[in-house]
Structure 1
């Protein structure tokens, strides 16, 4: 039994015979339906050659039964042999879903009416009732683009409601009603991607309601790379300093030596420009843009000059600054020097 005091266990597989030609082993954790589980992860351990024994570490991150499968192809294209052990975890709570990887329908956590089993690890919710996936972790930046693989036979356009929260419960919000209008193909899921009017952010519940019985294989969201996405001031990972005011979508009155930190900025394609959306009662604010990782710190400077006339009603303006190129993974700090008085809404790298 795995628990908060004992979240991991070592597992080993011995290959027989010891002189087997094919030594490749494939590991996965599934639920009883054979769907990859989000409640536990497998990490590498030691490997000994004689006899050939592979050790792995199972780490539980959520409650439930976790089936550890060790598989081999034996030189074939498909799995030819599966060995399985099952472990149970309690007291850890519900595991989180990663919406940027495909979430199968059979992993649903709540339903108004228990759905029927669909094709290929999908489900068939009863028309007019919700199916919910709780503790979906979208991270700081979130996403507003969802892909739904659906199979149904009416061959007519129909609506699917997408909710943040569980319909009928306090705080639930209908994010959008999308129309699925692809022509039916027998026994075939077809994907359709939708741009939603707002982003899902942080950890929340995603629910779906269709007007009639349909097969839903699951869902996935587009992952926006934080390094190249719009980063709102309020979505920082840390703020240091005494002079600032937190707002709903901006940080205002930023003064002397205030620093905003944004982690996990991976500039895989490099970075040569920053665009800042801000405003100030001062003519000029000097902002240091610092990139830090294990190898050290690099500094760039943006001099934000307020124009004499501002067209936007709220006074915010966008200004872009060419910066010396940088590549790799960093934490980014926006540091406001003494003498600043700045309101920051967002910034974006290019």
Structure 2
């Protein structure tokens, strides 16, 4: 026979402590054996056959099985820092023999794990100095209290989440001795979550506090890291948020709009759209719009055919080339009219190292004489340095094209580049006289890997700089 013992923790008033996470050890002596411990926590991978396990929601179930011999059974229950308990039962001999047995007395499959005394965190209390952040009060402190105060774990992690649970960057979080300091970055309602794993791989305890920022403007969306569907700025219809911050759609036209998407100066011409689609064999149409597709001034820029991937509870990316490059900051929207799982999107940035880079789009410029005119830098004189940082040449380049003009017979330009090893190299470009903007090619010693590039104009320079491009 089996005996099921439910184990609870109570406080000094006899009230069940529903959030207790204590590790409990169970011993069995006499005419029975411990055959399993279960707490109902699907994320707890401790063995069912062990003799100790953590409580979950304040409960633990011990399963005791009689042996083939009758007699007294003593069950001991203990946990570090708590009063223990001992129960005594009697196992009686079966009046009528039963054909077949479920166990043999010599073989008990039992795994005894070392009991590790511990006091897990069972509660986190959060006390913010304010819940609203505005330009004149742009920071807030959050004081944290751990229960019990002498818990063995202090792996507390603070995260900023949208109300739907999606990670967001509406504030910066700095850990402090007392908890955390928040600094507002953009407008919106959000949640600050403090979570503890109690030494495991997943969150076991967390607490949240609601916050609001106002007066800071909108935060630009980075399209070159994955943007989950749950980050949508607006949607033409109510949507159903599911696991992994995805949205399930139905067979009705739905517009998902994302504001303040910043593609930068170089931009992108490749998109990866992540969906799950298993409703049919034919591909489904997904439209990409510049602007909100429901507004009359919006423009549909592309239409993609998403192939069925037999994913009904998940999503995976498919890659498409855009009809034209997108640069700068935009509102974009996706139009979906079929039933699928919309996971999100990610654009692939153009590699600046091999893109046409205009002189005025530099990362830094300084010197005695120069004029920035639109995308050009003109009237370049003595000791002007124009820098472009973090260009990744991969396996390398040996050619550069420079577009400019100069009245000098030869205008010397030093091309300086510094790799990740910190060593600076210099090559000389002799740009020939030209009244009009012309493209001139120069051979280089191989430049490979990630480098910071500078064009240095020497004394006597008279140069108008339009653009340059390295060639693979």
Q: TM-score, normalised by structure 1?
A: 0.77
Shift of the 339–98 alpha-carbon distance from structure 1 to 2, 3 Å rule, reads closer
Deviation at 1:34, TM superposition (A): 0.9
- Once residues 307 and 165 of structure 1 are traced to their aligned partners in structure 2, the CA distance between those partners, rounded to angstroms, is 45
- Once residues 123 and 324 of structure 1 are traced to their aligned partners in structure 2, the CA distance between those partners, rounded to angstroms, is 45
- Once residues 210 and 326 of structure 1 are traced to their aligned partners in structure 2, the CA distance between those partners, rounded to angstroms, is 40
Match of 2:466 among 340, 344, 350: 344
- Once residues 266 and 360 of structure 2 are traced to their aligned partners in structure 1, the CA distance between those partners, rounded to angstroms, is 11
Deviation at 1:324, TM superposition (A): 8.2
CA RMSD of aligned residues (A): 3.8
Match of 1:176 among 268, 293, 302: 302
Shift of the 302–180 alpha-carbon distance from structure 1 to 2, 3 Å rule, reads farther
Deviation at 1:254, TM superposition (A): 5.1
Aligned to 2:68: none
Match of 2:157 among 22, 26, 41: 26
Contact kept? 2:248, 2:340, Cα under 8 Å: yes
CA offsets per residue over residues 111-135 of structure 1, 9 Å max, x none? 3334343453222456444211101
SS at structure 2 position matched to 1:302: strand
Aligned to 2:346: 220
Mapping 1:326-345, distance limit 5 Å:
332-337=453-458, 338-345=460-467
1:103 lines up with 2:224 in the alignment? no
1:139 lines up with 2:264 in the alignment? yes
CA offsets per residue over residues 20-48 of structure 1, 9 Å max, x none? 33321222111121110232221233x3x
Aligned to 1:93: 217
Aligned to 1:113: 237
Match of 1:150 among 275, 278, 282: 275
Shift of the 271–43 alpha-carbon distance from structure 1 to 2, 3 Å rule, reads farther
Contact kept? 1:159, 1:179, Cα under 8 Å: yes
Deviation at 1:74, TM superposition (A): 0.9
1:123 lines up with 2:214 in the alignment? no
Aligned to 2:390: 265
CA offsets per residue over residues 159-204 of structure 1, 9 Å max, x none? 2222232236476443322221143333231211223243333322
Q: TM-score, normalised by structure 2?
A: 0.59
How many pairs does the alignment contain? Answer: 332
- Once residues 243 and 20 of structure 1 are traced to their aligned partners in structure 2, the CA distance between those partners, rounded to angstroms, is 63
Aligned to 1:236: 362
SS at structure 2 position matched to 1:120: helix
Shift of the 84–273 alpha-carbon distance from structure 1 to 2, 3 Å rule, reads farther
Shift of the 56–227 alpha-carbon distance from structure 1 to 2, 3 Å rule, reads farther
Contact kept? 2:314, 2:341, Cα under 8 Å: no
1:210 lines up with 2:350 in the alignment? no
Match of 1:251 among 365, 376, 394: 376
Match of 1:322 among 417, 428, 445: 445
Deviation at 1:239, TM superposition (A): 5.1
Unaligned runs of 5+ in 2: 1-131
Shift of the 264–86 alpha-carbon distance from structure 1 to 2, 3 Å rule, reads farther
- Once residues 35 and 324 of structure 1 are traced to their aligned partners in structure 2, the CA distance between those partners, rounded to angstroms, is 41
Mapping 1:62-81, distance limit 5 Å:
62-81=186-205
Higher RCO (Cα < 8 Å, 6 or more apart)? 1
- Once residues 68 and 19 of structure 1 are traced to their aligned partners in structure 2, the CA distance between those partners, rounded to angstroms, is 24
Aligned to 1:186: 312
Deviation at 1:231, TM superposition (A): 3.2
Shift of the 159–140 alpha-carbon distance from structure 1 to 2, 3 Å rule, reads same
**Structure number with larger C-alpha Rg:** 2
Contact kept? 1:238, 1:261, Cα under 8 Å: yes
